[in-house]
């Protein structure tokens, strides 16, 4: 693992804006992809009547309990040049997936999956079934019912899921180190940058970056709790 | 011509109950079927099977010439394509849409102009003018019910399914909306199934009543048949009204109406317009029997007649007295002995006016 120490040592107390840019790009993309991928998964988990649903539920929740290094290791193996997925990607794009931004993105998506899917599913669960059924009897398809009725009634849960997966990606460390390596401008994120600064005994630089991450994380949680306040959950008037 | 609706289906709810229903509705004229029974009797489940929201494990549902469900050939028609108007209990108005938005919700096949026109029409029909942009939570119970009905019929459905359409309302509103609903059902002239546990609603709205208990249909008949000639004691207990006869209001004074039943005149309660046809409903336990020729009472109705039937039921007995119409009375066996009741003896039946319920009926 190429954890370099030397590069950051000469920067003094300045903030590594490149790492911040990479991190925010990663978090935004992860949250966006999870919004698209998480909705159908959450819909299926909420409304399916299959008996083996719990198996999928457990798989989705796995990243919550798994050490990031374990998850990172398996993703690394799965997308590496010896796996079919990895070979297919290499044939398609021309270079292997690990230690690239795209590889990091794939890993982040898996790592933050429960942070998006679980709030989505909880929100869908709270939508009155009779509203959904009534919509169906009015000739409205399941897909249209989803977008016209279920999504507007679940906005708070959707915002929570997106924001939490965004925030969770901002702070990830183990998976990034395993899958992304530490390539400046490509896969070096804020949390790794802080680690490097501390390793180089550059506490002033670490402090500034850490404060920034703390502020952003706190702001994000403020947003989550604000949208989940009972008064304007679902319907702002009354 | 095929029947309007043929149902023969079964569904189990593990640990709760087993539903098994057979039903046939005649095609012409379109009739209103009442699913009547106590809560937990399976009426809502049957209605949901008709709407396509619940699937029977076994059986068939055929509407006109279309098979909606046939488990043998694996036909399961989605609710979207059944062209039904369904109104669940508590109405399920969409909180994300305004009143107009709710009514318009299922009309996306129409052009924007036709859609607007249809909504305007329904707003007018249901007297919701001025509330188009209101949020459903701002409406009264009666208004919510109207919006839900308007939404259900907006697409001009071929079959109307109403689950307890009036139970969420307070008593005065309920009586008013019940007669409005009766008119609407007549106007629409489409077959309908209405779930209710209220006998006055069942009598007012229904052409056919199916009495349900424990997941099965015990009797399917005209309202009067079901109420006055229940097939067994179970049905009699569920309907709880032993005398239901047709009458005509001949005078009405301050809510106290005089009705004529086969030439016999009775006083009853219900603010009915003179000349309107009604069902006269009397519970057997509200009828007192005495020997002919005794004193004055406060009761408005004193009818003398001949005993035509005596049916012992445990410590009680049901006595049928012919006083122009068959009137059922429930008395204790001891009282029956004292009165020396037997078939052919003359008695005077006394009923307080408040116990004579008048329910409007269509001719």
- Asked whether the predicted pLDDT for residue B18 surpasses 80, the reply is yes
- Asked whether the predicted pLDDT for residue B295 surpasses 90, the reply is no
Using an 8 Å CB-CB cutoff, list chain A residues near B151.
138
Q: Is B92 on the interface with A (CB under 8 A)?
A: yes
Q: In the prediction, which pLDDT does B297 show?
A: 65
Question: What's the average model confidence in pLDDT over A104-125?
Answer: 94
User: Residue B134's closest chain A neighbor by CA?
Assistant: A237
Q: Is B137 on the interface with A (CB under 8 A)?
A: yes
Question: What's the average model confidence in pLDDT over B269-284?
Answer: 81
With bands split at pLDDT 50, 70 and 90, how would you rate the model's confidence at B363? low
Distance CA B254, CA B268 (A): 11
Inter-chain residue contact B90 with A130, CB threshold 8 Å: yes
CA of A54 to nearest chain B CA: how many angstroms apart? Answer: 21
Condensed to tens digits (0 to 9), the pLDDT of residues A37-82 reads 999 999 999 999 888 999 999 999 999 999 999 999 999 999 888 8
Distance CA B169, CA B145 (A): 9
- Asked whether the predicted pLDDT for residue B256 surpasses 60, the reply is yes
Mean pLDDT of chain A: 87
Partners of B306 in the β-ladder: B322, B346
Inter-chain residue contact A139 with B109, CB threshold 8 Å: yes
Q: Which residues are CB-neighbours of B169 under 8 A, at least 6 positions away?
A: B141, B142, B145, B177
SS3 of B111, please? coil
With beta carbons less than 8 A apart as the criterion, state whether B225 and B206 touch.
no
- Asked whether the predicted pLDDT for residue B305 surpasses 80, the reply is yes
Mutate to test the interface with A, among B80, B102, B148, B154 (most CBs of A within 10 A): B80
- Asked whether the predicted pLDDT for residue B1 surpasses 80, the reply is no
Using an 8 Å CB-CB cutoff, list chain A residues near B94.
131, 134-135, 149
Q: In the prediction, which pLDDT does B12 show?
A: 87
Using an 8 Å CB-CB cutoff, list chain B residues near A135.
94, 105
- Asked whether the predicted pLDDT for residue A1 surpasses 80, the reply is no
Q: In the prediction, which pLDDT does A9 show?
A: 43
Q: Is B105 on the interface with A (CB under 8 A)?
A: yes
Instruction: Specify which of A4-8, B155-159, B172-176, B225-229 reaches the highest per-range mean pLDDT.
Output: B155-159
Mutate to test the interface with A, among B49, B85, B95 (most CBs of A within 10 A): B95
Q: In the prediction, which pLDDT does B32 show?
A: 93
Question: What's the average model confidence in pLDDT over B232-250?
Answer: 86
Angle at which helix A101-125 crosses helix A17-47, to 10 degrees, equals 40
User: Residue A152's closest chain B neighbor by CA?
Assistant: B96
| Sign (positive or negative) of CA dihedral B32, B33, B36, B41 | negative
CA of A190 to nearest chain B CA: how many angstroms apart? Answer: 41
- Asked whether the predicted pLDDT for residue B272 surpasses 80, the reply is no
Inter-chain residue contact A136 with B53, CB threshold 8 Å: yes
Q: Is B88 on the interface with A (CB under 8 A)?
A: yes
- Asked whether the predicted pLDDT for residue B290 surpasses 50, the reply is yes
- Asked whether the predicted pLDDT for residue A15 surpasses 80, the reply is no
Condensed to tens digits (0 to 9), the pLDDT of residues B51-74 reads 999 999 999 999 999 999 999 999
Inter-chain residue contact A138 with B151, CB threshold 8 Å: yes
Distance CA A25, CA A105 (A): 10
Q: What is the interface pTM, i.e. ipTM, of the complex? A: 0.83
Distance CA A7, CA B287 (A): 102
């Amino acid at each position: 693992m190429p954890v370099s120490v030397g590069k950051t040592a000469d920067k003094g107390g300045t903030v590594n804006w490149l790492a911040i840019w990479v991190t925010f790009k990663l978090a935004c993309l992860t949250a966006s992809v999870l919004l698209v991928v998480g909705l159908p998964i959450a819909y299926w988990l909420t409304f399916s009547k299959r008996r083996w649903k719990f198996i999928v539920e457990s798989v989705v929740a796995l990243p919550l309990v798994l050490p990031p290094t374990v998850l990172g290791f398996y993703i690394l193996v799965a997308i590496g040049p010896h796996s079919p997925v990895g070979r297919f990607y290499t044939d398609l794009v021309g270079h292997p997936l690990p230690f690239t931004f795209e590889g990091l993105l794939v890993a982040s998506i898996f790592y933050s999956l429960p942070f998006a899917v679980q709030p989505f599913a909880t929100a869908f669960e709270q939508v009155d079934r009779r509203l959904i059924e009534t919509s169906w009897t009015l000739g409205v398809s399941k897909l249209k019912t989803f977008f016209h009725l279920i999504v507007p009634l679940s906005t708070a849960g959707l915002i929570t899921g997106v924001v939490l997966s965004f925030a969770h990606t901002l702070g990830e460390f183990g998976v990034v180190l395993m899958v992304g390596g530490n390539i400046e401008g490509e896969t070096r994120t804020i949390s790794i940058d802080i680690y490097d600064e501390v390793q180089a005994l550059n506490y002033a630089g670490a402090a500034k970056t850490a404060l920034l991450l703390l502020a952003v994380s706190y702001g994000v949680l403020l947003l989550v709790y604000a949208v989940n306040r009972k008064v304007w959950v679902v319907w702002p008037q009354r | 011509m095929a029947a309007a609706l043929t149902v023969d289906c079964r569904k189990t709810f593990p640990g709760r109950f087993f539903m098994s229903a057979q039903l046939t509705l005649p095609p012409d004229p379109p009739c209103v079927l009442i699913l009547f029974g106590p809560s937990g009797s399976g009426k809502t489940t049957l209605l949901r099977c008709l709407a396509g929201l619940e699937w029977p494990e076994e059986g068939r549902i055929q509407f006109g010439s279309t098979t909606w469900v046939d488990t043998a050939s694996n036909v399961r028609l989605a609710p979207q394509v059944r062209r039904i108007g369904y109104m669940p209990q508590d109405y399920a108005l969409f909180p994300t849409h305004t009143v107009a938005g709710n009514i318009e919700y299922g009309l996306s096949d129409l052009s924007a102009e036709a859609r607007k026109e249809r909504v305007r029409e329904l707003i007018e029909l249901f007297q919701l003018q001025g509330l188009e942009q209101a949020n459903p939570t701002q409406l009264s119970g009666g208004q919510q019910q109207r919006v839900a009905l308007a939404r259900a019929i907006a697409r001009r459905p071929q079959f109307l399914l109403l689950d307890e359409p009036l139970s969420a309302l307070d008593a005065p509103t309920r009586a008013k909306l019940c007669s409005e609903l009766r008119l609407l059902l007549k106007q629409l002239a489409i077959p309908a199934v209405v779930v209710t546990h209220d006998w006055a609603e069942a009598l007012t709205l229904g052409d056919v009543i199916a009495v349900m208990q424990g997941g099965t249909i015990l009797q399917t008949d005209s309202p009067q048949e079901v109420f006055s000639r229940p097939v067994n004691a179970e049905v009699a207990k569920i309907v709880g009204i032993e005398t239901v006869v047709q009458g005509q209001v001949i005078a009405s004074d301050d809510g106290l109406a005089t009705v004529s039943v086969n030439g016999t005149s009775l006083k009853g309660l219900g603010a009915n317009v003179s000349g309107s046809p009604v069902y006269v409903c009397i519970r057997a336990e509200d009828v007192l029997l005495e020997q002919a020729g005794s004193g004055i009472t406060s009761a408005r109705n004193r009818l003398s007649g001949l005993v035509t039937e005596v049916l012992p039921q445990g410590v009680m007995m049901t006595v049928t007295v012919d006083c122009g119409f068959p009137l059922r009375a429930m008395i204790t066996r001891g009282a029956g002995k004292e009165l020396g009741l037997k078939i052919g003896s003359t008695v005077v039946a006394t009923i307080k006016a408040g116990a004579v319920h008048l329910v409007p009926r269509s001719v």
